[in-house]
Structure formats: C-alpha cells, structure tokens
Amino acid sequence: MKRRNTSRTLIAIGIAVLFIGAFLLRSCAPEAPVPATPPEKPVQVAVPLFDPDSAYGHVAQQVAFGPRVPGSAAHRACADWLVATLKRHGADTVYEQKATVTAFNGQPVPLRNIIASWAPEKTERLLLMAHYDSRPFADRDDERTNEPILGANDGASGVAVWLEVARHIGEQEPALGIDIFFTDVEDMGAPSAGVMGARQDENNLDSWCLGARYWAKNPHVPDYRARFGILLDMVGSADAKFPREGISMRIAPQVVTKLWKAAADAGHGARFLSETKNYVGIDDHLVVFQGTGIPVADIIAWDESSGAFPATWHTHDDDLAHISKESLQAVGATVMRAVWTER
C-alpha cells in the first residue's frame, strides 16, 4: 500500500510538472501579432473633365455680341445671355445688381453685376470671379485708339471658363456652396494720357473695378462670406503663363498654394510658374479683399516679352483669333480640380 501510494504521488507530481512547463512555455512565447489596421485611403474625388471646345464657344458667343461696353446694346444682350445661361446650368438663384456708378471722367455709367448661386443654404462657400465688360477704348493701340475693343481675352476668357464650370456644377455639385460673380464696369478705368481727353493725373487706380467696389459695399446677401475666392483675368492667350501674382501673394498666399498644386496635379504645372511677379496694379481680387476680408487669388497671364500683360492687352488684337483652347484647358482643369477637391 505504501509503495502504491508513492507511485500515485509520483504520477501526480509528473502531471503537475507538465502543466507548469506548458504554462511557462506559453507565457514565454511571443504574442501573436495583432492584425495591422489598414491606413485610411484618401478620399477620391471625381473631378469633372473640362471641355476647352465648350469654353472656346463661350468666348466666341461673347465676342459675337461686339464690344461689351457698359450702357451699350451689346453689353445688355451679353448680360441677358449670361443670366439665361447660368439659370440653364442649374443656379438656384441669379442675382442682378443694377445701379449707376461714376466713371473716371465724371460721367454716370449703368452697372449690372451678375451673381449666380448654387446651394445657397451652405455656409461654406467659394467665390468664383471674372469681369464681363470690355474696354471702351484701345488706349494701347496705335490705331483707332478711341474705339472700343472686343475683349476676347481681357473679359470673355475668364467668363468662358466659369461658364464651363457652371455647366458641371449643375451636373455634379461640389461639396461647398458656389457663387459665380461676373463683375461689371471693371475695365473702364482712366485711359492713358491723351486718349479720350484724359490727363496724366486721371490715370489712377480708383477708377477701375467699379462693379466689384459696389458689390463689396453692397453684397448680394447680407454679411456674405466665402472661404476664399478665385479671380480669372486674361486666361486665354496663346502659350499663356501664370506666375504667382504679387497682390495675391500678399492677401491670399494659401489660396495661391492650393491653385498651383491643383495645376500640377492636373498636369499643367509648367504654365503655373513658381516665381512671384508684381505686374498687376489693381484688380477685382484686391477690391473684394479690402472690402470684405475674403482672400481672393488672381490667375492672370504674364508675358515675358512685355514684362506685364499679353501683347493684345487693350488693343484691337484682343480678338478671337488670339484665343488658345490649350490655355483655356490649362486654367479650366486647374480651377475644376481646386473647386471639386475642396472639403
């Protein structure tokens, strides 16, 4: 009996040792790796494709009205067409600001700003701008200096790009609310000395951008705010290049960064130059910023040969023959990417 109990004791001890050994082995073994959480994929945004042929057609239509000088029949016809086109592209509301402003020569000028809004209930908004009036004289030309110009590039090109954008907004709404603002009486600033009887001291910056100045004091909705704005001016010239415009770098550098990245992502980085150039004295973006605090960046062409604007600026050569679909495409694809990827 004593020997049998001893055997049973030894067996029990052996089993206990095996359990302890197994436990120790398990506790010393490395833990099974926890499955890694896959990184979040960036939100993929389907950016609509910009159609340069459509934009070019919008330039041609504006030019077909003739010079869009405020107060003229061509200007009225063009404004009516813009309102109808924006409504056709699904704008929830199209505002028309009608007033009278005073030109550089003291003469009253009829004003008709046009603002189209999509998703007006959204508080986060983008302001997309271009002027639609054209210069009432060719003060940079050697001939017919007192005659109005067609303004295919200086006026119609920026409007054309936004009209093509408007077409896509109606089909695929961006995340933010959109306001497209076609400013009036932008290009009726004091002419060069000797033209239209102007004296040198009349050539001042306050005589420009009268539509934007009026809107900044009288926005289409009270206390209007936008996250930022984009101004297009002279974006249709052949082989157009766009440096970082100096005023924009002072009032809206973060917007410039967004746009230039969008240009690179859209494959048009070669046209959007990295250097900053100070060649704009005044434009609607500065007027809006000064009046509302909204940061607005200006995409505006620069010409190396002139050291300033394209050679057609304020001449009779600013016609449809000097409009480039490739330039419209570069700017259009850039702003489309900026608008649709903003969250």
**If you average pLDDT over residues 2-8, what whole number do you get?**
39
**If you average pLDDT over residues 326-339, what whole number do you get?**
98
Of the pLDDT bands very low, low, confident and very high (cuts 50, 70, 90), residue 200 is very low
Of the pLDDT bands very low, low, confident and very high (cuts 50, 70, 90), residue 7 is very low
Question: How far is residue 107's CA from residue 127's CA, in Å, rounded to a whole number?
Answer: 30
**For the chain, what are the domain ranges?**
52-341
Q: What is the mean pLDDT of the chain?
A: 89
- DSSP 3-state percent helix, strand, coil across the chain (nearest 5): 40, 20, 40
pLDDT tens-place string over residues 286-324: 999 999 999 999 999 999 999 999 999 999 999 999 999
CA angle 219, 222, 224 (to 5 degrees): 65
Phi-psi sector, 197: left (phi>0), alpha (psi -120 to 50), beta: left
Instruction: Report CA Rg, the chain.
Output: 31
Residues pairing with 56 in the sheet: none
For 137, the enclosing helix (H) or strand (E) is: none
Question: 52-341: what CATH class?
Answer: alpha beta
Q: Are 296 and 288 in contact (CB under 8 A)?
A: yes
pLDDT tens-place string over residues 19-77: 434 433 343 344 444 445 445 445 578 999 999 999 999 999 999 999 999 999 999 99
**What pLDDT score does 204 carry?**
82
Three-state DSSP state, 197: helix
